[in-house]
Amino acid sequence: MKLTSRSVSRAVLVSTMVTATAAASVLVASPASAATTLGASAAQSGRYFGTAVAAGKLGDSTYVNILNREFDMVTAENEMKMDATEPNPGQFSYGNADRIVNHARNQGKRVRGHALAWHQQQPGWMQNMSGSALRQAMLNHVTQVATYYRGKIHSWDVVNEAFADGNSGGRRDSNLQRTGNDWIEAAFRAARAADPGAKLCYNDYNTDNWSHAKTQGVYRMVQDFKSRGVPIDCVGFQAHFNSGNPVPNNYHTTLQNFANLGVDVQITELDIAGSGSSQADQFKGVTQACLAVSRCNGITVWGIRDSDSWRASDTPLLFDRNGNKKAAYNSVLAQLNS
């Protein structure tokens, strides 16, 4: 090939980029530069590492020290749910949610919004509604809350847990589902209009094993949304594991197949019942599965210390009740640095 001046300068540019990339990957690979916190080690590959936070614990110094040191993404454990943010129809309440969002942002951390529409933790007034009045109330809720937090949210769980457990692969029955099968896409469209900068996620549990009907059902919905231009950017995998629902061997396949639909995937509520090396190995497996999928852009654990967990007796988190790092912590950190 004859080299024109244009192709020469392009070749120089490309070789400069290759050199820069090689230098960057040497930096990342060097054990001497291994990061010492979950957030910093995840950031080496462009990912985040988050935790659920409860507003009521922001006065606990052990809790806040670990939060500030280790995590770079925050999810409100309950404070952004429908019952918390709209306790009375049309009357919005953001005090506790703002406490969490402000703490996170003041510390330079990002926020996952959780959750705009869900069959659980609805305010009492909504639980008794149905039909077009409920549809309208749900859409108004999505619009108001996403507008209030516009520009402050990295990703929103727009709809949470809308699929049924078991073998049907279909939707869960709920008051929201009974307003019509299009309630999920209507919620996503309202969220996009209210905050065009946030990534919009569908979030669910028991969707980790690729061969499960529920996983397949969610996959088909996302595939359908992408084919019809319904605005969806990500799928959240809650990842609440225990002996009855272990980390599946095909987890990487699940995450990769969803990513191949053109969405990001995120592990959004990770906790794994157990202790010691067996628990550490399972946390390692989940971390590995995410790292192996380029569109798996972050992991969030559902609390800080075991004693903060919604299922504390399972001791499912990375820090013990005294705030000490567990074997599971060390294995996640090592994996993120590998």
Task: In angstroms, give the least distance from the CB of 55 to ligand XIL.
Answer: 11
Q: Does 174 bind ligand XIL (CB under 6 A)?
A: no
Task: In angstroms, give the least distance from the CB of 313 to ligand XIL.
Answer: 14
Task: In angstroms, give the least distance from the CB of 206 to ligand XIL.
Answer: 11
Query: Of 243-262, which residues contact ligand XIL (CB under 6 A)?
Result: none
Q: Does 127 bind ligand XIL (CB under 6 A)?
A: no
Q: How many residues bind ligand XIL (CB under 6 A)?
A: 6
Residue 75 structure tokens: 């999810």
Residue 160 or 207 having the CB closest to ligand XIL: 160
Closest CA to 315 of 285, 282, 277, 271: 271
Q: CA separation (Å) from 64 to 104, 265, 326?
A: 11, 28, 18
The 10 Å CB-count burial string (b at 16+, else e) for 75-113 is bbbbbbbbbbbbeeeeeeebebbbbbbebbeeeebbbbb
Residue 180 structure tokens: 């019509």
Residue 86 or 269 having the CB closest to ligand XIL: 269
Residue 41 or 238 having the CB closest to ligand XIL: 238
Closest CA to 199 of 191, 211, 210: 191
Q: Which of 96, 122, 160, 335 is in the footprint of ligand XIL by CB under 6 A?
A: 160
Residue 77 or 306 having the CB closest to ligand XIL: 77
Residue 311 or 325 having the CB closest to ligand XIL: 311
Name 31's Cβ contacts closer than 8 Å, sequence gap at least 6: 337
Q: Does 310 bind ligand XIL (CB under 6 A)?
A: yes
Spell out, one character per residue from 77 to 106, where the chain touches ligand XIL: x when CB under 6 A holds, - when not: xx----------------------------
Task: In angstroms, give the least distance from the CB of 326 to ligand XIL.
Answer: 19
Residue 83 or 320 having the CB closest to ligand XIL: 83
Kindly write down the DSSP assignment for every residue of 224-281, as one continuous string.
Answer: HHHHHT----EEEE--EEBTTBPPPTTHHHHHHHHHTTT-EEEEEEEEE---HHHHHH
Q: Does 238 bind ligand XIL (CB under 6 A)?
A: yes
Task: In angstroms, give the least distance from the CB of 320 to ligand XIL.
Answer: 19
| 52 beta partners | 75
Closest CA to 309 of 320, 294, 298: 320
Task: In angstroms, give the least distance from the CB of 311 to ligand XIL.
Answer: 8
* Region of 202 on the Ramachandran plot (φ > 0 left; ψ -120 to 50 alpha; else beta): beta
**Does residue 161 have an active-site annotation?**
yes
| 176 beta partners | none
Known catalytic residues are 161, 269
Binding footprint of ligand XIL on the chain (CB under 6 A): 77-78, 160, 238, 269, 310
